[in-house]
Structure 1
Amino acid sequence: MDQPLKSPGQNALEDAFHRLFELTRTAPPPTLAERLDRLARLRAAVSDNESRFEQAISADFGHRSTVETTIAETMLVLGEIKHAANSLAKWMAPKRVATSLQFFPAKNRLMPQPLGVVGIIAPWNYPLQLTLAPAVAALAAGNRVMIKPSELVPRFSALLQEVIASKFSADEMIVTGIEDDVSKAFASLPFDHLIFTGSTRVGRLVAEAAGRNLTPVTLELGGKSPAIVDRSADIAEAAERIAYGKLLNAGQTCIAPDYALVPEASVQEFAGKVQASMQRMFGTDPDNKDYTSIVSDRHYARLEGLVADAAARGARIMQVTSPGDPAWKSKRKFPPTIVVGATPEMAIMQEEIFGPLLPIMGYREAGEPVAYINKHDRPLALYWFGKDDAARDEVLDRTVSGGVTVNDCLFHFAQMYQPMGGVGASGTGAYHGAWGFDTLSKLKPVFYRSKFNRLADLYPPYGGKIARLEKLLRFMS
C-alpha cells in the first residue's frame, strides 16, 4: 500500500531529527566543559534578548505585563541555568550505590549518560519559561534538543527560532516551525524522551503518538487545582494570596488556583475580600499595564460562555464590569470575575478555567473538601490555607496532587530542589534541577566485580560448593 506523501515541512523535520539521532549514536557524550558552554550560550540567548522576548510575547497576547514576563519567565529560566551550571559536576559524577554483603568485595555505581535526542513541545501561556526550562535539563544531561513552540505565539516562536539558531549549531539544538504539518508530525518522531506541557486532552494525543515508538514522555498537564480555606485560616490573608495566584498572567497558568473551597459561613466575607484584593492589585481600568490580556478571541469567548452558564444556573457574578464591555473586550482583557455559589453541574466546575475566573464553593463539614477533590481527577496543584497543623496534615495525607503550597499559591513551582510534575490526568514524570537531569539521563547501573570474591562458586558443575554457598546466601537474605 502506498505511503501518504509527506509535506516539505515534514521531510525537513525528519531530516533534522535523523541528523541529531545519528550524532547521539556516533559522537562521544559531551564533556562537562561542553555542557557548561551550552548552558552559558543559552543564558546569553535569554539575557541578550530579554527585551525582545518581552515585546514578542506581549504582542502575541495583545498585552502581557512585562513584570510578569520578567518574574515568571526570564528570572526562572536564568535561575534554572545557574543552578544547573553550579551543580553539573556533581550531577554527572557516578553515584555510589551500596553493595549487598554476599557480593563483597565488589562495588556498584550509577553512571549518568545522555539519553540522546529530547523533544520539547512547548505551550503558549509561559512560552519562554516552559520552553527553555526543560531545555536546560536536556542540555545539562548531555542531550541534543528539538523544540516545537506553540502556534498561538507566532512572534515569540519566530524570535526563539532566530535566537537559538544564532547561539547553537543545528547539531546541538534546533527550534522547528509551527506549521500544522510540523506540529502533527513532531510527537510521532522516535525521540529518546519527549516533554509536553499543555492540556490534558492534547497530552493524551501526544502520549498516544509517542507510545507507538515506545518513547518515554514527561507530561505536565493541568486540571482543576483547588484552594482549600480551612476554618482556622486568616480570611483576608487567604483572599489576597488566592487573588494573586488567580490573576497572575490573567489566570492563564496551569497551576493557578482553579476554584476555592471555603467554610459556608465565610463565603460572602471571602468573596468580598478577594474582590477588594483584585481591585487593589490591578485596579478597574483595562489600560492597566500590570494586567495581561487573554491570548485569543476564541479563549475570550470560552470564558464568556463559562460565566454565562454559571449565571444561568444561579451563581452570583461579581465583576467590575461586564466582559462584553468594549473597553475591555477590544483589548482582550477579561475582567477579574468571582463566581459565588458555584455548583458541580456548572461548566466552570467541569473544565480547567485558564482565565481570571474564581468559582467559590461553600462547605459545612471539615471532610467535605477532601471528599470533593477525591471524586475528581488528581490536580496538578493544591493550596491549603490555615493555622491548624492537624487539619493541614489530614488534607496532605488524604489527597494526591502534583504539588502543594501551604498558605500561598504557585511558589512550590519555583523550588529548584523540588520536582515539578503532575499525577494521573494532571501529568506524569517530573523535572526541575537534579530531577530534570535524572529524568533526561540514563542512570546506568554498573557492577564492578572484585577478583577476590567467590562468584565463580555459582558456576557448574554443581556439587558441595553450591550447597555451602546457598546456605550462606539464605543466611544473608
Structure 2
Amino acid sequence: MKQDLPESVSRDPLAALLDVQRDAFLREPFPAWEVRARHLRALRAMLFDNRDALAEAMNADFGQRSKAEVTLSEFVVLKQEIDGALKHGARWMKPQRRSVGKWLRPGRARIVPQPLGVAGIVVPWNYPLLLGAGPLVCALAAGNRAMIKMSELTPRTSALFEALIEKTFSRDHVAVVNGDASVGAAFAALPFDHLLFTGSTRIGHEVMRAASANLTPVTLELGGKSPALIGEHARFDYAVDSLLLGKTLNAGQTCIAPDYVLLPRGQEAAFIERARARFAQLYPDFLDNRDYTSIISARHYERLVRIADEALAAGAQLHPLGAQDEAARRMAPVIVTDAPANTALMQEEIFGPLLPLVPYDTLDDALRYVNSRARPLALYLYADDARTIERVTRETIAGGMSVNETLMHIAAEGLPFGGVGASGMGAYHGYEGFATFSKLKPVFTQARLNARGLIAPPYGLIFRFLINLMMKF
C-alpha cells in the first residue's frame, strides 16, 4: 500500500523520507519472520515478473548488453540470494546461546539479532539489479527499512526499478532515489543506521567521510587491481580460457574482474595465442555479436583508449583480440605486455577489457608483487599442487579468492562478499549480509540466586578471598 510523505517533515526531501522510514520502523522494530518472508517473496516476484523489461532497460542503457548475460550474472545470483534467505532466515534471527564463564554462573548469556532500522544502499551502474536488490535482500531479511540510490549512468534501469519498487513496497518501507552525483552526495550524508556503498575506491573515500559526520557504520564494496596468478604447473590452456571468460563478462566492467595476470616468464606469447583463438570461438563475428556488452558511456570508452595509448607510448605492446567500434563503444579484449609500472594501466583499476600480463620468475617473486600493492577485492589462482595453493592462500590477503576459476566466489551461496583495506570493508551475502544489517545484541540475564553481593563493597576478607580465587583459576 503506497504511503505519501507528509508535506513538511523536513525541507530536505531525502531527510523527510528517512524520517518517515525511521518512524515506521519504530512502530514495528522487530518484524516477525513471516512478515520478513512476505517482503522477500514480493521482491522475488517483482524481479522475475519483470525480468524481460529490466533486461531490455539495461540493454538500452549500455547500448548493448546480452539478455543471457543479464540472466546469468544478475537474476540467477539474486534468485539464489533470496531463496537462501527464505530458507535460512528464520534460523538466523533466533537468539544464539553464549557462555557466561564460570564466575557468572548460573546467569545466562545470548546474542539477539536485532534490526538496525533504516539502511542506505548506494548502487553502481555495472550490475544495477544485483548490486541494488542483493543488499536489499539482506536488509529485508534482517527486518530493516531501506532507501536505495541508483546510478544516473543507467537512467532507464534506475527509473524502471524505482517504479517497480514503488508498486511493490510502501514508501515508508523501501524507496528508490534517483538523481545525479549531487543527490548521491546528499544521500551518503544522511544519518542512516547502516550505509552500504558499492563503487570506486575514490568515491569510497568521499562516502566514508560523509558518513563519519553522523558516525554512520558503513560497508564499502570497492575495487582495485585484482590479480590472477597462473602457477608454474597449472593447466595453462584452461587458465587462459577461464580468465578470458572472467574478463569478457560485462566487457570487463566488473569490480572483481581479473585486472592483471602474473604468469611464468616466457609464456606470454602462448597466453596471447590461446586467448585470441578462444575469443574468436566465444564471440564469432564480433562487431555484430549480441552476446558481448558495450562500454557504458563514451567517457568510459575514451578513458580505456587513453590508458592503453599511454602504456603504448611508454613502451608497452598491445595485442587486440578483435576489432574495436568507437561509435558502438564495443571494445574487444586487448592483452598488454611490457607495460611500465608507473602507467595508469598498472596503477588504476582498469574496469574494462584491457588485460596486462606480468611475467614472474619464481612464486616468491609473484607473491612479493601482489603483496607490495594495495589489497585487492579478489585474487585468482590457477594451480593444482597443494603446496602452491596453500602458500598463495596463506601468504596473500584479498577480499575473496577463487582457485581455478574467476568471479564465481561471488555466487557461492555460503560465502560472504567484501573487500579489505583499499578494496573495502565489511561484507554481505547470506548470513553475513543478515549480520551486517543487524545489531547482534549481547544480553546477559542474571539468575535469581547469584553471588553478586559477595563482590560488593565494603571490600573485606571474603572479597579478597574470592578475588584471589578468581585470579588463580
1:367 aligned to 2:364?
A: yes
| Cα distance in 1 between the residues matched to 2:184 and 2:29 | 30
| Cα distance in 2 between the residues matched to 1:355 and 1:225 | 13
Secondary structure of the residue aligned to 2:13 is helix
Pairs within 5 Å for 1:140-289: 140-289=141-290
Shift of 1:315: 2.0
Which of 429, 433, 440 aligns to 1:432? It is 429
| Cα distance in 1 between the residues matched to 2:451 and 2:416 | 42
Deviations 1:153-203 (CA, angstroms, capped at 9, x unpaired): 000000010000000001110001223442221000000000000000000
Secondary structure of the residue aligned to 1:253 is coil
CA-based RMSD: 1.5
| Cα distance in 2 between the residues matched to 1:453 and 1:271 | 73
Conservation of the 8 A alpha-carbon contact between 2:100 and 2:107: yes
Pairs within 5 Å for 1:296-335: 296-321=297-322, 323=324, 328-335=325-332
Change (3 A) 1:411 1:320: closer
2:116 corresponds to which letter in structure 1? Answer: L
| Cα distance in 1 between the residues matched to 2:340 and 2:363 | 18
Change (3 A) 1:316 1:180: closer
| Cα distance in 1 between the residues matched to 2:231 and 2:411 | 24
Which of 353, 361, 370 aligns to 1:356? It is 353
63-72 or 9-18, which deviates more = 9-18
Pairs within 5 Å for 1:35-114: 35-114=36-115
Shift of 1:344: 1.1
What residue number does 2:6 align with?
Answer: none
What residue number does 2:455 align with?
Answer: 458
52-61 or 18-27, which deviates more = 18-27
1:429 corresponds to which letter in structure 2? Answer: G
| Cα distance in 1 between the residues matched to 2:164 and 2:465 | 67
Conservation of the 8 A alpha-carbon contact between 1:245 and 1:409: yes
Shift of 1:270: 1.4
Between the aligned residues of both structures, percent identity stands at: 45
TM-score norm. by structure 1 comes to 0.95
Conservation of the 8 A alpha-carbon contact between 2:287 and 2:323: no
1:51 corresponds to which letter in structure 2? Answer: D
Secondary structure of the residue aligned to 1:261 is strand
What residue number does 1:407 align with?
Answer: 404
188-197 or 467-476, which deviates more = 467-476
TM-score norm. by structure 2 comes to 0.96
Shift of 1:388: 2.2
| Cα distance in 2 between the residues matched to 1:296 and 1:179 | 15
Secondary structure of the residue aligned to 2:266 is helix
| Cα distance in 2 between the residues matched to 1:294 and 1:366 | 35
Deviations 1:281-317 (CA, angstroms, capped at 9, x unpaired): 1224211011000000000001111221122222221
Conservation of the 8 A alpha-carbon contact between 1:154 and 1:178: no
Deviations 1:51-74 (CA, angstroms, capped at 9, x unpaired): 011000110000111111001101
| Cα distance in 1 between the residues matched to 2:108 and 2:32 | 25
Deviations 1:315-356 (CA, angstroms, capped at 9, x unpaired): 221124553xxxx22221112211122331222111111111
1:330 corresponds to which letter in structure 2? Answer: A
| Cα distance in 1 between the residues matched to 2:286 and 2:74 | 25
Secondary structure of the residue aligned to 2:376 is coil
Secondary structure of the residue aligned to 1:361 is strand
Conservation of the 8 A alpha-carbon contact between 2:145 and 2:174: yes
| Cα distance in 2 between the residues matched to 1:10 and 1:239 | 56
| Structure 1: gaps of 5 or more residues | 1-7
Deviations 1:137-156 (CA, angstroms, capped at 9, x unpaired): 00010110000000100000
Conservation of the 8 A alpha-carbon contact between 1:145 and 1:172: yes
Change (3 A) 1:394 1:335: same
| Structure 2: gaps of 5 or more residues | 1-8
What residue number does 2:446 align with?
Answer: 449
